[in-house]
Structure 1
Amino acid sequence: MASAPTSAALYATVISSAQVTGAEPKDAKELKHHLKHGKGFQNPWDSYKNTVGPTTILDIAWRYFTGQGRWPDTTPPTVPVHKPTFLPTRDSSALRATWLGHACYYIEFPGGLRVLFDPVFTPRCSPFTFMGPKRYTDIPCEISNIPYIDAVVISHNHYDHMSHPTIMNIKKKHPNVHFFVPLGNKTWFLKCGIHNVTELDWWESRDIKLTVMDHASKPTSTDVSVMGDGERKVNEAGGPKTIVATIGCLPCQHTSARGPFDRNHTLWASWSVESCGKKVWFAGDTGYRTVPRLPTGSDDYDPKLQLPYCPAFTQIGTLRGPFDLGLIPIGAYEPRYIMSSMHANPVDSVNIFVDTKCRRALGMHWGTWVLTEEDVLEPPRILKTALRAKDIPETGVFDVCDIGESKEFDA
């Protein structure tokens, strides 16, 4: 579907300037994830240990020199890619999710809200066009093919989640879209000439009000402004349809950086979006535990190890759940002693699913770029095994889908 000029008379989105109060942990205001004597942020849990440093590159090089490391085979066929089909109007009654590769999902909420998560529509996830991880599966569509984007939600600033060319293209095609980012990232957007951006800290939320003047019309971007306190309006009979949604910034266990000298200067986050009775949790990019170096073939869930896990997910489930749908990473996890603090493997992912009280889930963060050593088709296989171990059905609860495929969730 081709992009068309926006008509503010057709609909408008308004962002509340007042924080929406939601349940939060008792110690949330202590801001333990903020560095006390410097710029930046940290993971404040025993489940996180820094496994990336100057020795990591040498360690990885040694793995390949000694034959321990491996390059996954990306020879086709791998993950099927389909041209996605988006709803042509805002008239929708079911929650609908379309996977657009890696961590990018497009969510069509019942009632009309449309949200895009972590979009990267470039051949490489890199600051360079000529080097860095290259896609082994195709980009399923272009930004211009997406008829509505009301909000773009960014989990953190790594290049496989926050792409400058993609964001600028979104701004061009949907000039009134509003971006939601974790604390510290707003400056980057302002430098890019993007002012429709709201940055939030963990456990903070904002309201969106979407007023659709002609529900069957086909505008392609939102008209965003700031709504002051007390401006939420009630629909009059026969008047325009108003959709109210809440977007919340929540914790996850990860890191941030755009270059060699800004590690953890900006925050990382998971997100919740609630609209018209449906609630989605987007995990972003996250670890669950930190697994030490173990002998090959060891079970890193052996109770004898007594590895602490991140408590934030249980807090999210208890205080902000349950969720109708969770979007949860399942890939980029080997070798575990390097990647586990930052990236969940499918066993971790199932535990995160249970902790956050998601009723259904879809996997992400796989099938697009080679970032780590596991086979490119391994994550969904391990996911089924992990679900079976938890007495959760292998299908119909926590699933995967093809790139470009859409799934609907009625219940």
Structure 2
Amino acid sequence: MKRLLLVLLLGILAVTAYTFCKSWSLPDFPDSPQYREGKFRNALPKPAMGLRDGLEIWWAFLFNKPKGTVPDHPIPVQALDRTTLDAAPDRSLFRLGHSTILLKLRGQYWLTDPVFSERASPVQWMGPARFHAPPISIDELPPIAGVILSHNHYDHLDHAAVMKLAGKTARFIAPLGVGDQLIAWGVDAAKVEQLDWWQSTEAAGLRLTATPGQHFSGRGLGDSDRSLWASWVIQDGDFRIFFSGDTGYFDGFKAIGEKYGPFDLTMIETGAYDQRWAFVHMQPDQTLQAHLDLRGKWLLPIHNGTFDLALHEWQQPFERISALAAAKNVLVATPMMGEALDMQSPTAGTRWWERVQL
């Protein structure tokens, strides 16, 4: 046990040192209402977590992990190829894993928070590993009109994926500071646009608006909350989609719904939750309420089914949000990874996660 503790401690120290060495100076954003005293802030202050609480959470992750947080058998994935994508109708959607969504809009392709690496981690020799391979590789993807980024955490901003996508992507649209990270990595600055909350841009016939979220940011020791986090409103004419990124529940959903709703589809995080960090990750009942606040028609639960990032069973997010939505007569779509979803005529899909347990 002592040797295991030592190995884990050394691993944590190595990752910390690595991320510290890989950090860089980000600019200040004095014109942003969200930026105060050198950091971005939520509308409400984040509750402080004491040292004991933090250590208890680390201990639970390292030594008291409950059974079932990782599937015992491979989860079903529907493989994709270029022919399948091109044959899909406009306004189709494909889940590629976690919060990575491939959208087909106006005959062009968009990606949200593309993560294709094996691990959601600063290093690929430790950290949360994928439950499944991506349904399609970056090499097989068609040209991408735009990548939409919500924030810079490792399960949403994948350095290797960004660098591989850079050559085939026309635009990278990100919150303040995240775009600077991309440029520092070597992405052509002419391709990068970064927005503050409530700012909009137009690209390939779409209107994209960065909207508030309740979260935090950072990839190392020196950049905590130095870049912004955001949700996104995607408008294709009168067709409207909401992408939550990562967020706790807050009254901003009502404000977004009043200004931009109703939404044909909301893609909202439902996974990696716990009451101890509910301020930054919603519980399933809060996901449902956020969808109602947004005045959404169909709900697509995301941020699940790919990485082990919490202490709940891996399939629990699907089960809980499905039951809650059914009780409120809310329409929920749960496609398999890689399965096409027609956003204009969605279907609920099968309860595919139940087959993994057989």
TM exceeding 0.5: yes
How far did residue 50 of structure 1 move?
A: 2.9
CA 51–404 in structure 1, closer or farther in 2 if over 3 Å, else same: farther
* C-alpha separation in 1, matches of 2:59 and 2:110: 43
Partner of 1:105: 101
Match of 1:155 among 144, 150, 153: 150
* C-alpha separation in 1, matches of 2:75 and 2:332: 18
Whether 1:178 and 2:179 are equivalent positions in the alignment is no
Whether 1:145 and 2:140 are equivalent positions in the alignment is yes
Whether 1:84 and 2:80 are equivalent positions in the alignment is yes
Partner of 1:119: 114
Whether 1:251 and 2:212 are equivalent positions in the alignment is yes
Match of 1:95 among 91, 94, 97: 91
Secondary structure in 2 matching 1:319: helix
How far did residue 323 of structure 1 move?
A: 1.4
* C-alpha separation in 2, matches of 1:362 and 1:56: 32
CA 326–73 in structure 1, closer or farther in 2 if over 3 Å, else same: closer
Match of 1:389 among 324, 327, 330: 327
How far did residue 86 of structure 1 move?
A: 5.3
Secondary structure in 1 matching 2:119: coil
CA 168–66 in structure 1, closer or farther in 2 if over 3 Å, else same: closer
Q: Equivalent residues in 2 for 1:9-28 (5 A)?
A: none
Q: Equivalent residues in 2 for 1:25-36 (5 A)?
A: 32-35=33-36
Secondary structure in 2 matching 1:100: strand
CA contact (8 A) 2:175 2:228 kept: yes
Identity of aligned residues (%): 30
User: Counterpart of 2:260 in structure 1: which amino acid?
Assistant: R
CA 52–145 in structure 1, closer or farther in 2 if over 3 Å, else same: farther
CA contact (8 A) 1:121 1:139 kept: yes
Q: Equivalent residues in 2 for 1:9-408 (5 A)?
A: 32-35=33-36, 38-45=37-44, 49-50=46-47, 52=49, 54-63=51-60, 69-77=65-73, 79-85=75-81, 94-109=90-105, 111-172=106-167, 174=168, 176-194=169-187, 195=189, 196-208=191-203, 210=204, 244-288=205-249, 310-334=250-274, 336-337=275-276, 339-392=277-330, 397-408=331-342
How far did residue 408 of structure 1 move?
A: 0.2
* C-alpha separation in 1, matches of 2:132 and 2:38: 38
CA contact (8 A) 2:89 2:342 kept: no
* C-alpha separation in 1, matches of 2:61 and 2:245: 29
How far did residue 206 of structure 1 move?
A: 0.7
* C-alpha separation in 2, matches of 1:323 and 1:248: 14
* C-alpha separation in 2, matches of 1:276 and 1:87: 27
CA contact (8 A) 2:61 2:311 kept: no
How far did residue 74 of structure 1 move?
A: 2.2
Unaligned runs of 5+ in 1: 1-29, 211-243, 289-309
Secondary structure in 1 matching 2:161: helix
Larger helix fraction of residues: 2
User: Counterpart of 2:112 in structure 1: which amino acid?
Assistant: F
CA 41–124 in structure 1, closer or farther in 2 if over 3 Å, else same: same
Q: Pick the structure with greater CA Rg.
A: 1
User: Counterpart of 2:35 in structure 1: which amino acid?
Assistant: H
The number of equivalent residue pairs is 313
* C-alpha separation in 1, matches of 2:244 and 2:139: 26
Alpha-carbon deviations, 1:387-410, whole Å to 9, x = none? 133243xxxx22212111110022
CA 139–340 in structure 1, closer or farther in 2 if over 3 Å, else same: same
Alpha-carbon deviations, 1:2-43, whole Å to 9, x = none? xxxxxxxxxxxxxxxxxxxxxxxxxxxx965322xx212111
User: Counterpart of 2:319 in structure 1: which amino acid?
Assistant: R
* C-alpha separation in 2, matches of 1:113 and 1:66: 46
Alpha-carbon deviations, 1:143-166, whole Å to 9, x = none? 122213100000000000001100
CA 376–93 in structure 1, closer or farther in 2 if over 3 Å, else same: closer
How far did residue 280 of structure 1 move?
A: 1.2
Secondary structure in 2 matching 1:60: helix
CA 66–281 in structure 1, closer or farther in 2 if over 3 Å, else same: closer
Partner of 2:27: none
Secondary structure in 2 matching 1:360: strand
CA 188–380 in structure 1, closer or farther in 2 if over 3 Å, else same: same
* C-alpha separation in 1, matches of 2:163 and 2:339: 25
Unaligned runs of 5+ in 2: 1-30, 346-358
Alpha-carbon deviations, 1:150-198, whole Å to 9, x = none? 00000000000001100000013x0x52100101122211112211100
Secondary structure in 1 matching 2:97: coil
CA contact (8 A) 2:272 2:304 kept: yes
Partner of 1:13: none
